[in-house]
C-alpha cells in the first residue's frame, strides 16, 4: 500500500523537532510545497479566495494540492493512503476528489486542543470527509468525533528523536548555579512565568532562567538580571541548553502534545509543568510534577524543592528518559501509525 504524506514544517522548530519527523520513516511519497506547474502569484490568488474557516489554506497549500493530485493520478487505482500530517491546514483537494479515488483512504493528524480548534475551524466540509483521524492528545478525541462527525479517531502520541535529544554524559554533575529552562511560545503561560521569575529575583537566590523562544515573543518575558533569552539558535545549542539545565519549568494554558516536554524527557530533564490538556498522558508514570494552572507560589515551592535535591533530580531524570525511549521514539510511533493505515483499509 502506498502512503502519501502531506507535511508542513514550522519555521520555529528545530530541524530535528516536530511532527514532520514522521517523514523520515517508511518509504512513502512525500508531498511538499515545492512550487511547480503554476506561478507563485497564481497560487497566492487561489489561496486568497479560499475559505480559511475550513483550516489554513495558503499558497503552499495550493502547491501541495497540485503535487498531490499529479502523484495520485500517476499511481492509478491501486490502494493508497493520503495522510495530512497537520489536519489544521491544507486539506482541500483530497476531500474533493475522494468520491473518485477508489481504494483510497484519507486521514489526518490533529495537533491543536479543542480550545483552539473551536475558533480556528468553523467550516467542517472537508474534515468531515476524512476516513480517520489521529490525535496527539487524548483530550482531543471526543471533540474531534463530535465536531467533525468522525467515528474512527485514534490517540497515537507525538514522537521525539531520542537519539538526538539525549542526556549528556555528565548529566548528574552538580552545578554552582541552578538554571531553569523554559522553551517555546505557543499556549505558554507567560504571566505565571514572569511572576515566578520576580519571586526568585526578589529572594536574591542564585538562580538563572534560560528562556528559548521566537524573537517576536521577546517582550512576553519580563526584564530581569536572572533571565537569559535565546532566539534563532541552532539544534545543538538547543540540545546544550536542555542538557545543562537543572529542570524544565513550563507553565501552560492548554496543550495536546508539547515538543518541548518531549525533548526535555528525552534529555532526562526533570519537568515541572501545568496539569492541562494532554500533559498527564505524556508524563504519567514518571516523577514529573504537574501543577494546577497559574499557581505561582506552588511553582516556587516545587522549583526550590527540586533544585535543592540532587537525589530527586536523578530520580526525575531517569523516569522521564525511560518513558521517552520506551513510549515516544519515532520508531515506535511510526509503527503505530502504519498499523492505523492498515486498519483504515480493513474497515
Q: Tell me the pLDDT tens digit for each residue of 86-141.
A: 999 999 999 999 998 889 999 999 999 999 999 999 999 999 999 999 999 999 99
Residue partners of 68: CB distance under 8 A and separation at least 6: 4, 6, 31, 82, 93, 94
pTM: 0.94
Q: Is the Cβ–Cβ distance between 105 and 131 less than 8 Å?
A: yes
- 12 has pLDDT over 80: no
Tell whether 125 and 196 lie within a shared domain: no
- 174 has pLDDT over 80: no
Edge-to-edge strands, sheet with 247-250? 227-230, 208-212, 179-183, 247-250, 271-274, 289-291
Residue 167 domain-assigned (yes or no) = no
Tell whether 201 and 148 lie within a shared domain: no
Q: How many angstroms separate the Cα of 77 from the Cα of each of 2, 3, 74, 104, 219?
A: 11, 13, 9, 8, 53
Q: Tell me the pLDDT tens digit for each residue of 44-59.
A: 999 999 999 999 999 9
Tell whether 152 and 8 lie within a shared domain: yes
The mean pLDDT of 302-312, rounded to a whole number, is 96
Question: What is the model's pLDDT at position 1?
Answer: 85
Residue 172 domain-assigned (yes or no) = no
Instruction: List the one residue out of 342, 322, 339, 283 whose CA is nearest residue 156.
Output: 339
The mean pLDDT of 301-330, rounded to a whole number, is 97
The mean pLDDT of 314-336, rounded to a whole number, is 98
Residue 119 domain-assigned (yes or no) = yes
Paired strand residues for 247: 180
The range of the structural domain enclosing residue 237 comes to 179-327
The pLDDT-based confidence of 25 (bands split at 50, 70, 90) is confident
Q: For the chain, how many structural domains are there in total?
A: 2
Tell whether 281 and 340 lie within a shared domain: no
Tell whether 124 and 208 lie within a shared domain: no
The grid cell for 216 is 517576536
- 238 has pLDDT over 60: yes
Tell whether 334 and 229 lie within a shared domain: no
> Residue 89: which CATH number?
3.40.50.2000
Residue 46 domain-assigned (yes or no) = yes
The mean pLDDT of 175-197, rounded to a whole number, is 94
The grid cell for 19 is 511532527
Give the other-Cβ count within 10 Å of 212's Cβ: 20
Strand locations in the chain (E): 2-6, 29-31, 80-84, 104-110, 132-135, 153-155, 179-183, 208-212, 227-230, 247-250, 271-274, 289-291
Residue 121 domain-assigned (yes or no) = yes
Instruction: List the one residue out of 216, 279, 258, 322 whose CA is nearest residue 17.
Output: 258
Tell whether 205 and 84 lie within a shared domain: no
**Integer Cα distance of 215 and 233 in angstroms:** 10
Residue 196 domain-assigned (yes or no) = yes
The mean pLDDT of 187-204, rounded to a whole number, is 96
The mean pLDDT of 200-211, rounded to a whole number, is 92
Question: What is the model's pLDDT at position 173?
Answer: 52
Q: Quick one: what percent of the chain has pLDDT higher than 90?
A: 86
Q: What is the DSSP letter of 175?
A: -
Amino acid at each position: 500500500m502506498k502512503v502519501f504524506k502531506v507535511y508542513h514544517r514550522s519555521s520555529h522548530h528545530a530541524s530535528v523537532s516536530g511532527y514532520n519527523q514522521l517523514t523520515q520513516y517508511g518509504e512513502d511519497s512525500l508531498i511538499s510545497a515545492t512550487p511547480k506547474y503554476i506561478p507563485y502569484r497564481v497560487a497566492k490568488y487561489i489561496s486568497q479566495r479560499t475559505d480559511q474557516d475550513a483550516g489554513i489554506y495558503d499558497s503552499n497549500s495550493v502547491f501541495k494540492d497540485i503535487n498531490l493530485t499529479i502523484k495520485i493520478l500517476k499511481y492509478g487505482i491501486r490502494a493508497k493512503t493520503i495522510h495530512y500530517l497537520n489536519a489544521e491546514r491544507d486539506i482541500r483537494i483530497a476531500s474533493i476528489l475522494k468520491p473518485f479515488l477508489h481504494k483510497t483512504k484519507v486521514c489526518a493528524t490533529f495537533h491543536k486542543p479543542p480550545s483552539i480548534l473551536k475558533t480556528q475551524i468553523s467550516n467542517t466540509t472537508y474534515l468531515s470527509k476524512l476516513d480517520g483521524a489521529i490525535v496527539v492528545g487524548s483530550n482531543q478525541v471526543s471533540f474531534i468525533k463530535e465536531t467533525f462527525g468522525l467515528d474512527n479517531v485514534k490517540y497515537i502520541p507525538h514522537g521525539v528523536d531520542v537519539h538526538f535529544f539525549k542526556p549528556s554524559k555528565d548529566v548528574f554533575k552538580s552545578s554552582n548555579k541552578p538554571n531553569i529552562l523554559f522553551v517555546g511560545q505557543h499556549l505558554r503561560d507567560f504571566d505565571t512565568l514572569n511572576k515566578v521569575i520576580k519571586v526568585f529575583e526578589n529572594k536574591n537566590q542564585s538562580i538563572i532562567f534560560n528562556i528559548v523562544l521566537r524573537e517576536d515573543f521577546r517582550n512576553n518575558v519580563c526584564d530581569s538580571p536572572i533571565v537569559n533569552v535565546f532566539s534563532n539558535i541552532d539544534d545543538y545549542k538547543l540540545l546544550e541548553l536542555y542538557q545543562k539545565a537543572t529542570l524544565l519549568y513550563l507553565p501552560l494554558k492548554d496543550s495536546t502534545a508539547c515538543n518541548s516536554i518531549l525533548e526535555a524527557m528525552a534529555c532526562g530533564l526533570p519537568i515541572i509543568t501545568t496539569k492541562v490538556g494532554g500533559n498527564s498522558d505524556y508524563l504519567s508514570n514518571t516523577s514529573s510534577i504537574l501543577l494546577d494552572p497559574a499557581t505561582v507560589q506552588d511553582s516556587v515551592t516545587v522549583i526550590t524543592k527540586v533544585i535543592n535535591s540532587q537525589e530527586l533530580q536523578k530520580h526525575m531524570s531517569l523516569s522521564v528518559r525511560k518513558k521517552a525511549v520506551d513510549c515516544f521514539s519515532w520508531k515506535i510511533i511510526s509503527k503505530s501509525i502504519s498499523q492505523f493505515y492498515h486498519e483504515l483499509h480493513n474497515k
